[in-house]
Amino acid sequence: MKKIITAAVLAMGLAAAPAFGGNSVMKEAQQNFKPIPFGVPELPGNPVTVEKIELGKMLYFEPRLSKSGLVSCNFCHNVGMGGDDFQETATGHGWQKGPRNSPTVLNAVYNMAQFWDGRAKDLKEQAKGPVQASVEMNNTPEGAIKTLKSMPEYVELFKKAFPDDKEPLTFDNMAAAIEVFEATLTTPDSRFDQFLRGEEAALDKDEQKGLALFMEKGCVECHGGLNMGGEDYFAFGVVERPAEEIMGGDKGRMKVTLVESDEYVFKAPSLRNIELTPPYFHSGKVWTLEEAVKLMGSAQLGADLSKKEVGLIVGFLKTTTGRQPEVVYPILPASTNTTPRPVLD
């Protein structure tokens, strides 16, 4: 269900915060957030196995799933760079520029839905989209499967990952394997997680002040919970609509639902590892955390944050950077005489 921040919520958010003190800030934080769990979460209808993880990792790095033989999942969601691509908007087939900034893949398994507008219900459904999008990988399900079947090693890997399937190598199973690998890309044990688990010294005094401000000003209304976002949809520009350059002419979720009230509504992005994922917002037009925090204060909360307040909040946000997944780049199967050749048009 979509949430719109109302005047009442704003009033609550701008009300006086509890007096600063380690335990009181920690107690309030523990009511508003949860630490990222260790381990791989369960996926409904898609059991996690070692064989699926290994196959999914290979497919995630496999550029031959694209028509050009160049664009892989990692091309836009680089696991060594915070899970995104350091571009305003994604670059795809034929060097086309996509309409939106690439969201991070890290901790994406904890989002209620995928993409800025939530058009994919889970990571499995999301994995099918870029393969077929003309501005991204520009392939077809038939083309992707033809490529994979041309390499005997993939045929065997699909059999091992989906042993009960009469026809293991399918587009659906390709997406299921990618989903399982992406579910391993979580970042537990940030200093903020340690604080949430009761380690008061994990955050210094200024970082705790930044956390207190984050809750006091109302940021937590959209960026609370396990993933500090990703749990609901919100209007962008509740109090003051940002400049058109930042909005980018994007109507948000309305493009999916065709409901007028969903105009300029987006899924709130996760703020975890946020220092690693510039530029910010769906348009990618804001390159610094300081500017992003200042803009959100005015646009969403009607708060004119001081330079000191912005600095404290940014300092806190940097404590959410967790343990990055260590991924060994896979050796992919060799192409064969029947593997489709790249098409670069």
275-290 exposure pattern, b = at least 16 Cβ within 10 A, e = fewer: ebbbbbbbbbbbeebe
Is 325:104 a contact under the CB 8 Å cutoff?
no
C-alpha 283/C-alpha 5 separation (Å) is: 21
Residue among 62, 88, 136, 207 flagged as catalytic: 136
Best CA proximity match to 252, nearest among 269, 234, 277, 229: 234
Contact 173, 49 (CB under 8 A): no
CA angle 236, 241, 244 (to 5 degrees): 100
Q: What is the distance between the alpha carbons of residues 36 and 344, in angstroms, rounded to a whole number?
A: 41
Say whether 136 is catalytic.
yes
For residues 290 and 283, give the distance between their C-alpha atoms in angstroms, rounded to a whole number.
17
* Tokens (6 digits) for 57: 């990792």
Q: 45 Cβ partners below 8 Å, 6+ apart?
A: none
Q: Which residue in 77, 101, 104, 105 sits closest to 90, CA to CA? A: 101
* Helices and strands in the chain, H and E counts: 14, 2
State both tokens at 198: 């009761």
Question: Known catalytic residues?
Answer: 136
